[in-house]
Structure 1
Amino acid sequence: MTQPAFLDSPQGRRLAYVATPGTGPTVVFLSGYKSDMDGTKAVHLEAWARSRGRAFLRFDYSGHGRSGGRFEAGCIGDWADDAQAVLEALTDGPVILVGSSMGGWIASMMTQRLGRVAGFVGIASAPDFTEDGFWASFDESQRATLLNDGQVALPSDYGDPYIVTRRLIEDGRSHLVLRSPLPMPFPVRLLQGSADTAVSTDTLLRLFDHIDSPDLQMTLVKGVDHRFSDPASLALIEAAIDQVSPA
């Protein structure tokens, strides 16, 4: 396992990252909720970028992977600030953002904050999931538990239960991106599997409808799940990065 370097963010959070030098716009991978930079997609794309001499950056949000902090203490605003800190400190010039699941939401936010995004690839993007996924699906008992106890535990297909905090829900409402147009004046590719049980195709379509891009394409792959990390799916991600990269 590659040993990371560390960046202290302006908010005082210690963030782990691995940067691969190279040419062209830096490809930056933004991982998902309770995921990290050592996942299959991030590591595969790093090797792919290295083989092509392309600059690549992967990192962990606070409370994730090898970064400092507790996962349960974080929220969308914190993790977006982490992403912004990493992008501003560790990249120069144009960047290609590759966001997986929650990383697709945070990457969407970065396209509005950073003026040098050259392309965006969303993989099973999960914008606004705290409100339209978690909160919308809670029954009255779960909502009461969240408000009274400050958190509620949800079962997960990927290991330990998700601890959803009141802060996560309330902060998420300040960062929703599907309530107004999303100007992205660069190429965008959205990828998702039809067997994804974590993010609905309705979310994919809503994001597609909200993005204002001169070159926007959506690919729905039959039978692929939320991980989107089988060899054929990884090849699709590689192709999408090439498609959104400046000639």
Structure 2
Amino acid sequence: MSFCRPDLRWSGTRSVAGMNFRSRCCASWACSSPTSCGGGNRMELFQLTAADGKVVRGDRLPGVERTILFITGFLSKRWGNKSKALAQWCEARGWGFCCFDFRGWGDADGTWGDYRLLQWLEDAEAVTEQLAAGPSITIVGNSLGGWLAWLVAQEQPAVEELILIAPAFNMMGVRAADIPAERRARWQATGSMPWDDEPMHCEAPIPWTWVEDSEELWQRRLAPPRRVKTTILHGLQDSVIKPEGSWAFVQHVLSQDPQFPIELLLKTGDHRLSSPEHLGIFRRLVCREI
């Protein structure tokens, strides 16, 4: 199923990863994104309703030849510097663009602590399936979104390219292993714990089920991977998601398939990769100028 055009009203149901989603577009679109809505294409607000009745909300810019789907990082909303830049580049080239908020975060329905990592993966799969009837899909995944992008691409043949920015492979499993044993035991015993002591993270303690889901999903890397052109960009000074994880992941993929089209770009920079130089590299990757 595809997204409806702005002059239509449509609703339907589909099953994705064991969950039923109802997709709905509105009869007239308001520009809810921070990108330009002038000229030809306009940003469309969409929503997908899951079996629990909660709504995943996002924005979509229709286009031709190619659609860029942005999957945001952990505890990030869909509109940030990277997604704003992506939307502008796509609009300038006539490409499609899409971004969304996961259930329990941002503009989506639900309470943060009620959702598991597996359900966030289901949200990403549902959005990708909605785009599958259109142009070929490139997923740009940031941090946790990078790992989810990889998992989605392994299941969705419409995804032909991945650009992963500081991907957080097995994010919660690695975190649980890296912290002191006493803190890890307390996390498991209490059922939730913040990533660290920063105020933003303290407001969203991470359920221990995220560790369990993370480890379960990590085992999927053992299967022979579906070939999808993949570029990983990671900062050498990243102390949040260390670049060694991306290096090890690439080595593992190539051990499974020596001809897998994967490339790792290590650049000076931290986890955010937000400098003008980094943005320039990011643009060239997305626009296929590298």
Whether TM-score is above 0.5 comes out as yes
Once the two structures are TM-superposed, the CA of residue 52 in structure 1 deviates from its matched residue by 0.9
In structure 2, runs of 5+ residues without a counterpart are 1-30, 34-44
- Higher RCO (C-alpha 8 Å, min separation 6): 1
Once the two structures are TM-superposed, the CA of residue 177 in structure 1 deviates from its matched residue by 5.3
Matched, 1:192 2:234: yes
Taking the TM superposition and a 5 Å limit, the aligned residue runs for 1:130-145 are 130-132=172-174, 134-145=175-186
CA separation in 2, counterparts of 1:144 and 1:194? 31
Name the SS for the 1:28 alignment partner. Answer: strand
Match of 2:93 in 1: 52
Matched, 1:116 2:158: yes
In the superposition, the TM-score normalised over structure 2's length comes to 0.77
CA separation in 2, counterparts of 1:90 and 1:9? 17
Match of 1:100 in 2: 142
Percent sequence identity is 25
CA separation in 2, counterparts of 1:240 and 1:24? 17
C-alpha distance 168-107 of structure 1, shift in aligned 2 (>3 A): same
Taking the TM superposition and a 5 Å limit, the aligned residue runs for 1:17-28 are 17-28=58-69
Once the two structures are TM-superposed, the CA of residue 156 in structure 1 deviates from its matched residue by 5.5
Match of 2:46 in 1: 5
Which one-letter code corresponds to 2:154 in the other structure? Q
Matched, 1:243 2:288: yes
Match of 1:43 in 2: 84
Name the SS for the 1:64 alignment partner. Answer: coil
CA separation in 2, counterparts of 1:178 and 1:243? 29
Q: Deviations over 1:194-231 (max 9, x none)?
A: 12111111111012123345432211111x11112222
Count of matched residue pairs: 243
CA separation in 2, counterparts of 1:71 and 1:235? 34
C-alpha distance 91-9 of structure 1, shift in aligned 2 (>3 A): farther
> Over alpha carbons, which structure has the higher Rg?
2
Match of 1:165 in 2: 207
